[in-house]
């Protein structure tokens, strides 16, 4: 389970505010967010498959940092269908977009959907954001507004997506409207993304897992110890490993944009551009 919230084109100087919790097995080898040395990408990295779940285009050399405004995020689609060994890593979708030059819509339309296990993908730049999955959701531009999605269909009203939407509208978006400087609102955003409230049993999605585990997965922030206890140690520790805030800034005085990605890891490591 993962969750992403996107405030798209709601604020003039912050056209993109993306909040993300990455949920994963704690034993899966991962490098925290960093500048890649083999690609123009700033992101965390899944060391098993080589891709990433969230990142931005960025080069860093002797001339400084260069960005083109491209960003992308991918989430697994959880419907009980097991991934096959011959399927490509979903993290490649993010890295391919960040390396490329196609518009978000062009990229989304050319994906060979059947080559991947179930995914939800959002790709964007300063002008356009597009959502697509390989479970029947055709490439669709995001309208200006707040979009919250997890591991089901984009329109699904899971408890965790509805709770996150409500808390962001009440506690975070008003702060950004008052003052878009990150010091003013990012602590509140991370606080909301750390909500461990589980769904009532009657509001759980049906994704093929046991009710008690489904409930443990239903909060915005998933505590790894809960899953470990429920499975009596038979399932490796699983939960929220990374919390991230990705923003796109309009720098009108310089006629350019700036993209920033901040991530907090489970060991409280903080990395910043």
Q: What's the pLDDT score for residue 270?
A: 36
Summarize pLDDT for 37-86 with one digit per residue, the tens.
999 999 999 999 999 999 999 998 888 899 999 999 999 998 766 667 78
Residue 61 lies in a domain: yes
Kindly report, residue by residue over 167-209, the tens digit of the pLDDT: 999 999 999 999 999 999 999 999 999 999 999 999 998 877 8
Round the average pLDDT of the chain to a whole number and report it.
91
- Which CATH number do you get for residue 140? 3.60.60.10
144 pLDDT above the threshold of 50:
yes
Output the pLDDT for position 268. Answer: 44
Residue 35 forms part of a structural domain: yes
Pairwise CA distance, residues 131 & 148, whole Å: 12
Q: How confident is residue 138, by pLDDT bands cut at 50, 70 and 90?
A: very high
Q: Does 247 map to a domain?
A: yes
pTM above 0.95, yes or no: no
Residue 11: inside a domain: yes
Model confidence over 222-270: pLDDT tens digits?
A: 998 887 777 776 677 889 999 999 999 987 555 567 899 999 986 543 3
Residue 117 resides in a domain: yes
pLDDT of residue 267: 53
CA dist list (Å): 102 to 88, 108, 110, 183: 20, 9, 10, 34
Residue 272 lies in a domain: no
Helices 182-193, 159-167: crossing angle, 10 deg rounding: 150
Domain coverage including residue 7: 3-266
Calpha distance 40→101 (Å, rounded):
12
Q: Please indicate, yes or no, if residue 273 is contained in any of the structural domains.
A: no
Count of structural domains within the chain: 1
Other beta carbons less than 10 A from residue 93's beta carbon? 24
Q: How far apart are CA 127 and CA 94, in angstroms?
A: 18
**Residue 271 belongs to a domain:** no
Please report the pLDDT score of residue 247 as a whole number.
97
Helices (H), 74-155: 91-99, 104-110
Torsions phi, psi for 51 (to 5 deg): -100, -160
């Amino acid at each position: 389970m993962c969750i992403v919230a996107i405030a798209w084109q709601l604020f003039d100087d912050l056209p993109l505010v993306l909040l993300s919790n990455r949920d994963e097995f704690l034993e899966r080898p991962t490098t925290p967010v960093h500048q890649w040395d083999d690609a123009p990408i700033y992101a965390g990295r899944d060391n098993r498959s080589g891709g990433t779940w969230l990142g931005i285009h960025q080069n860093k050399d002797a001339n400084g940092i260069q960005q083109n405004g491209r960003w992308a995020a991918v989430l697994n689609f959880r419907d009980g269908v097991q991934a096959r060994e011959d399927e490509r890593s979903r993290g490649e979708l993010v890295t391919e977009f960040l390396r490329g030059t196609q518009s978000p819509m062009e990229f989304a339309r050319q994906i060979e959907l059947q080559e991947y296990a179930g995914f939800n993908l959002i790709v964007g730049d300063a002008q356009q954001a597009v959502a697509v999955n390989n479970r029947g959701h055709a490439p669709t531009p995001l309208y200006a507004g707040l979009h919250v999605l997890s591991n089901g269909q984009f329109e699904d009203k899971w408890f965790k997506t509805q709770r996150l939407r409500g808390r962001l509208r009440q506690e975070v978006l008003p702060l950004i409207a008052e003052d878009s400087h990150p010091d003013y609102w990012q602590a509140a955003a991370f606080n909301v993304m750390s909500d461990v409230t589980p769904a009532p049993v009657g509001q759980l999605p049906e994704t093929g897992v046991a009710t008690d585990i489904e409930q443990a997965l239903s909060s915005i922030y998933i505590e790894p110890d809960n899953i470990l206890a429920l499975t009596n140690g038979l399932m490796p520790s699983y939960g929220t490993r990374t919390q991230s805030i990705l923003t796109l800034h309009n720098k009108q005085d310089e006629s350019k944009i700036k993209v920033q990605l901040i991530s907090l890891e489970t060991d409280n490591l903080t990395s910043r551009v």
